[in-house]
Chain A
Amino acid sequence: MKFLKKYFEKGGKLEYFFPIFEMVDTILFATDKQTKSGPHIRDNIDLKRAMTMVIIALIPAVIFGIINTGYQQAQALGIERGWIDNLFVGMGYFLPILIVSYAAGGFWEILFALVRKHEVDEGFFVTGLLIPLIVPATIPLWQVAVATSFGVVIGKMIFGGTGMNIFNPALTARAFLFFSYPGNISGDLVWIAGADGYSGATALSVSASQEGANAVSLLTEMTQFDYSWWNLFMGWVPGSIGETSALMILIGAAFLIVTKIGSWRIMTGSVIGLVGTSLLTNMFSDYSTNTMLSLTPHYHLVMGGFLFGTVFMATDPVTAAFTNRGRWIYGIMIGLLTVVIRSANPAYPEGTMLAILLMNAFSPLIDHFVVQGNIKRRVARYAK
C-alpha cells in the first residue's frame, strides 16, 4: 500500500479520496498510529474490532435466517428439501438485500467521509448487516436502498456521524419502511419468500387474532405452522430474516457479553422488564377481552423481534443510556414497553422496534435523572 500512498496524501493527485484509501489500507493492515502523550500504551481493542465482534455475534442468526427462509418456502410450497438446498434458496433472497444495503449505506458513509474529510467509520458494517436481518425476505430491493439511505443519513449522518446519533440507524431504516410501505413489512402476506399470495400469520399476530381467547392456546391450536414454544425457541417459523431463532440470538448474546462488547445490563434489564410486565398483564387477562394480555412471559421472550432487538439494537452504546444505572432503567423500559405495545395495539403486534426507538429518544432523559441523583449525593455531602 505504501507505493499508492503518495497519490492520496496531501498534494497528491487523488488527495480528495484519501478517506477511501485510508479505509482500504486499514482494513488490510492495522493502523500504525502512535500514541502522542497521555497513556503511551493502549489496549488492543479499537472500534473496527469492536464492530467486527458484533458481526461475529450475528453470524449464527444470519446463517439460521438464510436456511429458515428456504425452509419456510419449501413448507409453503409443500416440497421436501434438505438444509443445504434451503441454504442456497435462502441465499438467493438474502444476498441481494445484503448487497443493496451495504452498497446504499456504504455510498453515503463514504460520501460524507469525503465531504467532511474524516475517516470512514466502521459503524456501518454492523448497520448494513442488521438491516437485512430485520426485514422480511420478500422486501423489494429498492425499498431496502431507500430505507438504508434514510437510516444512515437521517438516523446518523445529520447528527454528525458515529457517536452522535440519537436513534439506532438500522431501526430508523426499519421504522421508515414500516410507516412508508406497511404493506411490504407487516401483515400476513410478506413472510414467505417465493410463494406469492401465500398467507401465513406470524406467531404474534396469531396470539392477537381473537378476542377473549387464551393466547397460548391459540398458538398451540395453530395448524399451519408449529407455534409450540420449543419451535419458536428454535426459530423454524416465519418472520423477519434474522429474528426468528431465539437460540441463535442467545448464542450471539453470550458472545457479546463474554467479549464485553454488548452491555449485559441492558440485556438483563430488558428481559426483566418484559417478564415482569407480562406477568402483570397475565394477572389482568381474566378481566379483559384482549388476548395478548394472557400471553405468558416465556412466549413473549421467544416471539417476534424482542430478543434480536434487545441483543443487537438496544445495546448499541451510542443510542442507549450512557450511565450504568441508566442502562438498567433503559433496558427495563424497553422490555416493559414491548409488552405494552404488543398488548395495547393488536393491529400491529410487534412492539420491540417502537419500544427501542422510543427509549432511544428517552435515554438522555434517563441519564439526566441518574446524573441528578449523582449531583444530589454530592450536594448532600457538601451540605453536611
Chain B
Amino acid sequence: MSDIRLKKGHDIRIAGVPSKELVSGTSSTSIALIPIEFPSVKPKLLVKEGDAVTIGTPLFFDKVHPEIKFASPGGGTIQKIQFGARRKIERIIIALDKEESALTTEIFTNNSLVSLGKEKVIETILSANLWHLIRQRPFNKIACPEDNPKAIFVSGLNTAPLSVDLELALKGKEKEFQSGLDVLTNLTDGKTHLTLPKSSILAGMKNVDIHTISGAHPAGNVGIQIHHIDPINPHEVVWTVSAQHVVTIGKLFLSGVYDPSIVVSVGGPSVTSPEHISTRVGAPFTGLLENRIEEGKHRIIHGDVLTGQKASMRYYLGSYDTTLSVIPISYERPVLGWIRPGTSKNAYSLTKTFLSFGKSLFNFSTLQNGAERGLVPFEVWEDMLPMDILPNPLYRSILAKDVEEMEKLGIYECDPEDFALCSFACPSKIDVGNAIKQGLELMEKEG
C-alpha cells in the first residue's frame, strides 16, 4: 500500500473528450481477429476460409509457444483471411451467426478462486485460448507461461488522452473484477498490485495490494506504476493485465465462457459525438465510427493519439484497443509561424512561447508543427517523465547501440508509451518513444 504523487507529466487538453455515458454499439454482422497486433508472435493458422467457429475457438497459435492459441472473438464462419506483404496474416474475418455458440471451459466457484494454484489457472486460461490477455514487462509482450513473475500489476486508471474512463467501464462489474484479481493472485509468488486514483469504485478490492496514484498522464501507465511500486531489475519479469481484461478473466472462471465485450472510448476533435461505447473485441470500425465523424479529411487512430497507430474505416478493433481517436488532417501553414503570437485557439505548447492562455480544449491536427532537428535538450523531456530515469543519456546510449549502458540506465523499466509525452513536447521533434522501442528490440535480440 503506497500513495504515489507525481509532479511531472501533462494531461493534454485535446478536444473531443468522450462523454461520461455508456452507449451500446450497433451490432455488426462480421468481426475480425488481427494477428499482426501481436508482434512477438509467429502465427500459424488453425482454421481456413469457410470453417465454422464458436466464440473461443482457437484461430491460430504461436509457432514459438505452441501452447498459446488465440480465441475467436465471435461465433460464425471464417469469411476471409487477409494476407499482407510476405504473407503476413493481417486479419481473420468472421461472419457472425445470429445465435453464436461458445467454447466452454471449467467453471469454478467464487470462493475457490484464490486457492486454485498457478498450474490450474494457467491451464484454464490456455485452454480458453485467452493467454494473450496476460502481458509481461519488460518488452510489453505476451507473457511466457513458464516464467515466474515477481509480481502482477493492474492499473485501475487511464490517463492517456481521450482514453476510457475505467470508473464508467467497470461499473457494475466489480464482482467479476474481484474474481479476476483472485485468479491472478495465483500466478505469482509475489504480490498482486492494483493502482487506483484517489477515489475509486474499486477501492474495496481484496486479496491484492492497493496503491493510490495522483498526477497527470502518464500516471495511469502501468509502467510508471511498476517503477514506483516495485521496479523491474535485470532478469526479472512482471506481468500486467489491463483492467477490462481482469473482468474478462473473472467472467471466464465464473461462467466457463469467453465474454468478448469491452468498453471503448471514441473521441478527438473530428468526432461529432465523442462517447463511451459498449462493444466487443474485433468489432468493425464502421459500426463504431459511422455518422460520428465530421466532414473533411481525418486520420483515424486505433489507440490514443500519443501511442496509437494509423488506421482506416476498414479496420477492426484489436484485442488491446480500447480507444479510437480521430483527428483532422491539416496542411495549414501559418504565416511567419516562428514569430506569430499565437492564441489559445491556434497554438498549444507546454512552453510559454505563445500568447495562449486559459485551459480550453484544443483542436489538435496531424501537423508536426516543425521539422526534425538535431537534439537540443531543453528540459522538456525531464519534465514529462515521472521516473528516476535519465532520458537524455538513455536516448544517447540507444543511438550508440550500447546495450550494456542501456541496461544500466534502466531500459528494462521503460516502455515506449511512457516516453510518448516527451516526443509530444520535444522542440526538436524527436520521437523518443520510437527510440526506446528500438532500444528494447535491440536488448531483446542481444539479451
Residue interface bits A5-49, CB-to-B below 8 A is 1, else 0: 000000000000000000000111111111101111111111111
With both beta carbons as reference points, the residue of chain B lying nearest to A164 in the complex is identified as B374
Q: Is A317 an interface residue (CB 8 A)?
A: yes
Residue interface bits A152-163, CB-to-B below 8 A is 1, else 0: 000000001111
B393 touches A37 (CB 8 A): no
Q: A42-B424, A374-B409 are in contact. Are A161 and B374 (CB under 8 A)?
A: yes
Q: Is B87 an interface residue (CB 8 A)?
A: no
Bound-complex Cα distance A29 to B337 (A): 6
- Interface 9-mer from B43-51, B106-114, B301-309: B301-309
Residue interface bits B100-118, CB-to-A below 8 A is 1, else 0: 0000000000000000000
A-B contact count (CB 8 A): 218
B377 touches A317 (CB 8 A): yes
Q: A48-B337, A381-B231 are in contact. Are A38 and B420 (CB under 8 A)?
A: yes
Q: Is B97 an interface residue (CB 8 A)?
A: no
Q: Is A52 an interface residue (CB 8 A)?
A: yes
Most buried by A among B342, B354, B371: B371
Q: A34-B366, A43-B424 are in contact. Are A263 and B338 (CB under 8 A)?
A: no
A382 touches B336 (CB 8 A): no
With both beta carbons as reference points, the residue of chain B lying nearest to A30 in the complex is identified as B337
Bound-complex Cα distance A371 to B325 (A): 38
Q: How far is the CB of B412 from chain A (nearest CB, A)?
A: 10
A250 / chain B contacts, CB cutoff of 8 Å: none
Residue interface bits A245-280, CB-to-B below 8 A is 1, else 0: 000000000000011110101000000000000000
B12 touches A260 (CB 8 A): no
Q: How far is the CB of B139 from chain A (nearest CB, A)?
A: 18
B333 touches A29 (CB 8 A): yes
B366 / chain A contacts, CB cutoff of 8 Å: 34-35, 40-41
With both beta carbons as reference points, the residue of chain A lying nearest to B381 in the complex is identified as A322
In chain B, positions 367-383 with a C-beta closer than 8 Å to chain A are 367-371, 373-380, 382
Bound-complex Cα distance A318 to B352 (A): 20
Q: Is B335 an interface residue (CB 8 A)?
A: yes
Q: A44-B348, A259-B351, A371-B409 are in contact. Are A39 and B376 (CB under 8 A)?
A: no
Q: Is B141 an interface residue (CB 8 A)?
A: no
Q: How far is the CB of A160 from chain B (nearest CB, A)?
A: 7
With both beta carbons as reference points, the residue of chain A lying nearest to B430 in the complex is identified as A163
Q: How far is the CB of B13 from chain A (nearest CB, A)?
A: 11
Bound-complex Cα distance A280 to B331 (A): 59
Most buried by B among A49, A324, A327: A49
Q: How far is the CB of A57 from chain B (nearest CB, A)?
A: 11
Other-chain residue from A40, A261, A324 in contact with B308 (beta carbon distance below 8 A):
A40
Residue interface bits B273-316, CB-to-A below 8 A is 1, else 0: 00000000000000000000000000101000111111000000
A322 touches B370 (CB 8 A): no
B423 touches A121 (CB 8 A): no
Bound-complex Cα distance A47 to B331 (A): 19
Q: Is B250 an interface residue (CB 8 A)?
A: no
Q: Is A354 an interface residue (CB 8 A)?
A: no
Q: A43-B369, A160-B374, A163-B375 are in contact. Are A49 and B337 (CB under 8 A)?
A: yes
A33 touches B370 (CB 8 A): yes
What interface size band does chain B fall in? 35 or more
Residue interface bits B412-426, CB-to-A below 8 A is 1, else 0: 000010001101111
Bound-complex Cα distance A35 to B307 (A): 12
Other-chain residue from A37, A47, A374 in contact with B376 (beta carbon distance below 8 A):
A47
Q: A34-B366, A374-B390 are in contact. Are A52 and B339 (CB under 8 A)?
A: yes
B370 touches A32 (CB 8 A): no
Most buried by B among A42, A160, A322: A42
B309 touches A37 (CB 8 A): yes
A322 touches B392 (CB 8 A): yes
Q: How far is the CB of B177 from chain A (nearest CB, A)?
A: 31
Q: A163-B373, A263-B379 are in contact. Are A39 and B332 (CB under 8 A)?
A: no
Bound-complex Cα distance A375 to B390 (A): 10
Residue interface bits B374-409, CB-to-A below 8 A is 1, else 0: 111111101000001110110000000000000011
Q: Is B36 an interface residue (CB 8 A)?
A: no
Q: Is A226 an interface residue (CB 8 A)?
A: no
A46 touches B371 (CB 8 A): yes
B427 touches A50 (CB 8 A): yes
Q: Is B234 an interface residue (CB 8 A)?
A: yes
Q: A258-B352, A260-B378, A374-B409 are in contact. Are A30 and B368 (CB under 8 A)?
A: no
Bound-complex Cα distance A160 to B375 (A): 12
Question: Can you name 6 A-B pairs with beta carbons within 8 Å?
Answer: A27-B336, A29-B334, A33-B370, A41-B14, A327-B379, A367-B393
Interfacial residues, chain A to chain B (CB-CB below 8 A): 26-35, 37-53, 119, 121-123, 160-164, 258-261, 263, 265, 317-318, 322-324, 327, 367, 370-371, 374-375, 377-379, 381-382
Known: A42-B424, A260-B350. 8 other contacts (CB 8 A): A33-B367, A42-B423, A44-B349, A49-B353, A258-B352, A261-B378, A318-B374, A382-B234
